[in-house]
């Protein structure tokens, strides 16, 4: 009888790189498509870009010159090509309102949104994941129904309304948290001068600088908006975790683990959870992306100087380059997150590697 | 009544209509057993009724201003939910606002799923380059954060209800295309499709008459689950001033208007939000219940 | 010496459609011998196997007049006591290693789990025991297999790993639930021969559950034939051809025999009365 042995091991690294390459290419195409959409949008603008720069009293000759200089007389595909080239070089145009390069402004505002979304996702996972796991192990129980209901409510609430209620309750009535903005006005001044900004994220920077008084103040300001967004995130994560976990608990390998005499705690939190993490990684990345959207609406309420409020402020004054530039950046972040989740999925699931 | 029920429950239906109605009746019975779904259904029906009978139900004119009665708290006689900064009754505005909400939702769900269904089935049926191109386009729209794209579109086209509907519909169709395509791919190679083709049916007829009906259950489920999302997006656009314009009583717009008075006259911003919340919750509950009934594969029990 | 004694075992499921009885009064006893349980799908044979380990969860319910293993009352034992039995004293091999092994854990980790978690054995010692177990099931490259993931193994190898894993703590009783049904015919013979050898050398009791009557008759000492949750016949394997119950006879008759007649095989005519 022939004893058994393993087949020859394939070059995992090569395969992984090739798959990543394919994904990256596909995402790049999507990126081009995204730019195509924003390009089309920017050309549909009823506001004539020339008049917005030159004003209404420009002579015909001046208008013609300006049109030539702006490249508006070139065929559309050439304009798109220029637009593509500029964007890929990082030139997102100039804000009509402030006359600053959009990219620079976006770069200044992005870390604030990043800080908010990251903290919110962290909280969402920290609470949502265990909630979903425990709900899955007791299907139909009161706990399960409570988790599902709380999750469902999170799906159904307008996030900006929740933000307002939160502000009313926790700031206006109870005074437990700091108000709008990232820091109290008192600290804002000293922050700009005294703290070396490594990341642009106030919590990290103040901690790295050892300024714990500012850290505490920043925390009191971020906790409410982050908490609101975390609730939305937690609703989604707990729901998906529960669904995945229930699916895994019905699998045969769970029986095997029990047959080996493993305690139920280990069966659920080690055996099942490891399998749940595989699709859950994608869910978490998706929820992060979803929070970027939620930030657009919540930032205005909390006067949070992030990308979301940048876009909405620009909207109010019809500053189209700023709006579209911000849209492109958020779109890129979205695409980046998709790619990241794909990458993580391949790393976490051993079956995806071959 | 009972003869109707016996007819519906007949295990040997005599006509297609009877069979279809019978199936729907059985599904309805199963839905009825789910208390949360019933709550959702009630809320949804209440919304429709409120929208239909708004002039009869609302105690006041939603647009008429009465500056002597500004910012009255809830519980005031005649203004159960209070008044806003123009003296307008909030309850009446919410009731009339339901018309706007329902209108937007209806327009979106009549357009986005249809477009998505058509694109998805065509892509799935023809395969090859058609599929590649259509799916790439779908992916591009999917890759866009929905609200941001809707924002950009409305910003460009100008605020207003129709533009808001257009923007929301344009960002909502991709998931339907994906679902429809997935269903089409499963169904495409089955024997009965081959049989219809052999009978000489052209592609259009096969897709319209045979493939699309198979996709309907999944699409319907998605629609009910999406409705809450549509309401929230519309409210978000209204909140940003990009949707319906004042003085129309759109709920999101009302919240935005109430922000100024948040701390002292909290009801101006809170009440409309509560309405949005309840309606979304209702649609979500109904959608969940429908999904349990129509798609046995889903595990939410 | 009786290892396992089961009297009037019943397994019922409380479903939306009403009460479903998967096992309806099954009784048998087992010493250090091989008992085969044969039946079609739905006969209750798998449920019987799982009941012994009390692996059936609500809405399923196990009742029995008696279920005793080596003097331990399995019906009254607490979950903690059952956990102490599962693994070191009673083990189970399942049908398809594609599903019964954890796909995201390395084979080695799964092999060593029982030793490290329950017996608190050091990593080095657990590893050497795992390698020894893999060698006992005729796996040639045990170090490589330890580092592999289940989806990288062929069906036959996966099943061997399963057997090795279950036999590491040296249980007294092994329940094999369709252990070769998911394998190719050629691989089946190999795996069975390994199982045969191990059961013999360790003096274990074996419950072999299968739908394959011939296979069970060749492999086991005694055979239980189940139909719709009941035992319709119990006989020694060598007496199989003298089976009295029409269902067993029917099962035998629909198996082709080399040298038998060339007429169409009779199909099994089920009689509702067999469900008693």
Supply the CATH number for residue B187's domain.
1.10.3720.10
Domain count, chain B: 1
Q: Look at residue B202 and tell me if it is in a domain.
A: yes
Contact A292 B145 (CB under 8 A): yes
CA distance A120 to A297: 15
Residue B300 pLDDT > 50, yes or no? no
Query: A313: nearest CA in chain B?
Result: B240
Residues of chain A with pLDDT under 50: 1-2
Q: Which candidate from B147, B152, B288 shows the least CB-CB separation from A323?
A: B152
Q: Which candidate from A26, A165, A318 shows the least CB-CB separation from B270?
A: A165
**Among residues C177, C53, B162, C140, which one has the least CA distance to residue A261?**
C53
Pairing mode of beta strands C222-227, C66-69: unpaired
Contact A315 B151 (CB under 8 A): yes
Q: Which residues of A touch C99 (CB under 8 A)?
A: 251-253
CA distance C249 to C107: 43
Whether A318 has its CB under 8 Å from any CB of chain B: the answer is: yes
Q: Look at residue B190 and tell me if it is in a domain.
A: yes
Whether A127 has its CB under 8 Å from any CB of chain B: the answer is: no
Contact A4 C154 (CB under 8 A): yes
CA distance B82 to C72: 72
Q: Tell me the per-residue pLDDT of B150-165, one tens digit each, with 9 for 90 and over.
A: 887 777 777 888 888 9
Q: Tell me the per-residue pLDDT of C32-50, one tens digit each, with 9 for 90 and over.
A: 899 999 988 888 899 999 9
pLDDT on residue C37:
94
Contact (Cβ atoms closer than 8 angstroms) between residue B62 and residue B92: yes
Extents of the domains making up chain C: 1-89+173-257+266-276, 98-168
ipTM of this model?
0.89
Contact A252 C139 (CB under 8 A): no
Residue with tokens 């971020």: A222
pLDDT on residue A353:
62
pLDDT on residue A56:
65
Query: B287: nearest CA in chain A?
Result: A152
CA distance C138 to C161: 10
pLDDT on residue A275:
93
Contact B269 A318 (CB under 8 A): no
Q: Look at residue B115 and tell me if it is in a domain.
A: yes
3-class secondary-structure state, position C251 = helix
pLDDT on residue B298:
46
Superfamily of C1-89+173-257+266-276 according to CATH: P-loop containing nucleotide triphosphate hydrolases (3.40.50.300)
Q: Look at residue B6 and tell me if it is in a domain.
A: no
Structure tokens at C58: 């609500």
Give the minimum alpha-carbon distance from A253 to chain C in angstroms, rounded to a whole number: 4
* Chains with 3 or more CB pairs under 8 A to chain A: B, C
Q: Tell me the per-residue pLDDT of B176-219, one tens digit each, with 9 for 90 and over.
A: 998 888 888 888 778 888 888 888 878 788 778 888 888 887 88
Determine the structural domain holding residue B74 and report its residue range.
46-294
Q: Which residues of B touch A161 (CB under 8 A)?
A: 235, 255, 269-270, 273, 276-277
Residue B299 pLDDT > 50, yes or no? no
Whether B235 has its CB under 8 Å from any CB of chain A: the answer is: yes
Q: Look at residue B20 and tell me if it is in a domain.
A: no
pLDDT on residue B301:
35
In this prediction, what percent of chain B has a pLDDT beyond 70?
98
Contact A253 C152 (CB under 8 A): no
pLDDT on residue B32:
83
pLDDT on residue C7:
93
Give the residue-averaged pLDDT of C176-204: 89
3-class secondary-structure state, position C181 = coil
Contact C151 A350 (CB under 8 A): yes
Mutate: best of A5, A255, A261, partner C, most C CBs <10 A:
A261
Whether A257 has its CB under 8 Å from any CB of chain B: the answer is: no
């Amino acid at each position: 009888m022939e004893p058994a042995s393993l087949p020859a091991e394939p070059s995992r690294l090569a395969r992984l790189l090739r798959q990543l390459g394919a994904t990256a290419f596909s995402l790049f195409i999507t990126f081009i498509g995204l730019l195509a959409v924003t390009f089309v949008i920017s050309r549909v603008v009823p506001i004539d870009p020339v008049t917005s720069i030159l004003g209404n009293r420009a002579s015909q000759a001046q208008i013609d010159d300006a049109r030539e200089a702006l490249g508006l007389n070139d065929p559309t595909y050439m304009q798109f090509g220029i637009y593509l080239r500029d964007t890929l070089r990082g030139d997102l145009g100039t804000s009509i309102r402030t006359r600053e390069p959009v990219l620079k402004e976006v770069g200044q505002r992005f870390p604030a949104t990043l800080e908010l979304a990251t903290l919110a996702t962290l909280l969402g996972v920290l609470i949502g994941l265990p909630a979903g796991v425990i709900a899955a192990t007791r299907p139909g129980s009161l706990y399960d129904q409570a988790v599902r209901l709380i999750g469902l409510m999170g799906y159904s609430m307008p996030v900006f309304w929740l933000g307002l209620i939160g502000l009313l309750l926790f700031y206006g009535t109870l005074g437990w948290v700091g108000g709008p903005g990232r820091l109290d006005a008192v600290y804002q001044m000293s922050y700009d001068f005294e703290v070396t900004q490594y990341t642009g994220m106030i919590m990290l920077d103040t901690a790295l600088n050892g300024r714990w008084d500012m850290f505490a103040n920043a925390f009191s300001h971020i906790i409410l908006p982050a908490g609101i967004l975390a609730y939305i995130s937690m609703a989604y994560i707990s729901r998906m975790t529960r669904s995945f976990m229930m699916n895994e608990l019905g699998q045969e390998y769970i029986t095997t683990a029990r047959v080996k005499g493993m305690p139920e705690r280990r069966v659920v939190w080690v055996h099942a959870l490891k399998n749940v993490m595989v699709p859950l990684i994608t869910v978490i990345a998706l929820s992060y992306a979803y929070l970027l959207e939620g930030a657009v609406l919540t930032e205005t309420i909390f006067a949070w100087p992030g990308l979301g409020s940048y876009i909405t402020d620009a909207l109010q004054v019809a500053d189209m380059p700023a709006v579209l530039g911000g849209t492109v950046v958020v779109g890129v972040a979205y695409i980046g997150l998709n790619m990241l989740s794909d990458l993580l999925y391949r790393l976490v699931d051993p079956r995806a590697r071959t | 009544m009972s003869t109707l029920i016996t007819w519906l429950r007949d295990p040997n239906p005599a006509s297609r209509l009877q069979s279809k109605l019978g199936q729907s009746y059985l599904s309805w019975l199963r839905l009825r057993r789910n208390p949360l779904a019933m709550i959702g259904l009630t809320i949804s029906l209440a919304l429709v009724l409120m929208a239909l009978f708004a002039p009869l139900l609302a105690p006041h004119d939603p647009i008429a201003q009465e500056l002597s009665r500004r910012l009255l708290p809830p519980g005031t006689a005649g203004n159960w939910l209070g008044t806003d900064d123009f003296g307008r009754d909030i309850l009446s505005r919410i009731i009339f606002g339901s018309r706007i909400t329902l209108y937007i939702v209806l327009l979106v769900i009549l357009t986005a799923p249809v477009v998505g269904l058509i694109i998805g089935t065509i892509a799935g049926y023809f395969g090859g380059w058609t599929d590649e191109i259509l799916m790439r386009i779908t992916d591009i729209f999917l890759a866009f954060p929905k609200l941001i794209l809707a924002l950009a579109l409305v910003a460009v086209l100008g605020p207003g209800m129709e533009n808001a509907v257009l923007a929301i519909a344009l960002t909502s169709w991709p998931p339907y295309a994906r679902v429809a395509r997935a269903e089409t791919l499963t169904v495409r190679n089955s024997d009965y499709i081959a049989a219809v083709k052999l009978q000489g049916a052209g592609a259009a007829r096969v897709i319209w008459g045979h493939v699309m009906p198979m996709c309907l259950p999944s699409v319907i489920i998605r629609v009910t689950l999406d409705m809450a999302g549509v309401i929230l997006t519309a409210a978000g656009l209204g909140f940003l001033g990009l949707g319906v314009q004042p003085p129309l009583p759109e709920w999101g717009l009302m919240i935005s208007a109430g922000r100024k008075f948040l701390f002292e006259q909290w009801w101006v911003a809170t009440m409309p939000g509560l309405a949005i919340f309840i309606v979304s919750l209702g649609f979500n509950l109904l959608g969940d219940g429908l999904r349990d009934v129509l798609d046995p594969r889903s595990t939410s029990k | 010496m009786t290892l396992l004694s089961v009297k009037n075992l019943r397994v019922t499921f409380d479903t939306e459609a009403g009460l479903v009885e998967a096992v309806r009064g099954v009784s048998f006893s087992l010493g250090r011998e091989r008992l085969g349980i044969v039946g079609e799908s739905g006969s209750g044979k798998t449920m019987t196997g799982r009941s012994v380990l009390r692996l059936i969860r609500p809405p399923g319910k196990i009742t029995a007049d008696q279920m005793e293993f080596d003097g331990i009352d399995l019906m009254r034992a607490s979950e903690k006591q059952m956990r102490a039995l599962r693994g070191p004293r009673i083990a189970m091999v399942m049908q398809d290693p594609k599903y019964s092994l954890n796909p995201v854990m390395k084979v080695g980790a799964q092999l060593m789990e029982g030793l490290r978690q329950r017996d608190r054995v050091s990593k080095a010692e657990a590893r050497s025991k795992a390698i020894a177990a893999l060698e006992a099931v005729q796996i040639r490259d045990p170090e490589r297999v330890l580092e592999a993931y289940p989806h990288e193994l062929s069906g036959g190898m996966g099943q061997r790993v399963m057997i090795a894993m279950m036999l590491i703590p040296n249980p007294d009783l092994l329940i094999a639930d369709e252990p070769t049904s998911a394998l190719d015919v050629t691989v089946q013979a190999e795996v069975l021969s390994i199982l045969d050898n191990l059961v013999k050398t360790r003096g274990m009791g074996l419950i072999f559950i299968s739908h394959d009557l011939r296979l069970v008759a060749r492999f086991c000492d005694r055979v239980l034939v189940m139909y719709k949750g009941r035992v319709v016949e119990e006989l020694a394997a060598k007496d199989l051809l003298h089976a009295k119950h029409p269902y067993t006879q029917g099962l035998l008759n629909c198996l082709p025999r080399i040298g038998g007649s060339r007429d169409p095989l009779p199909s099994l005519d089920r009689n509702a009365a067999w469900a008693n």
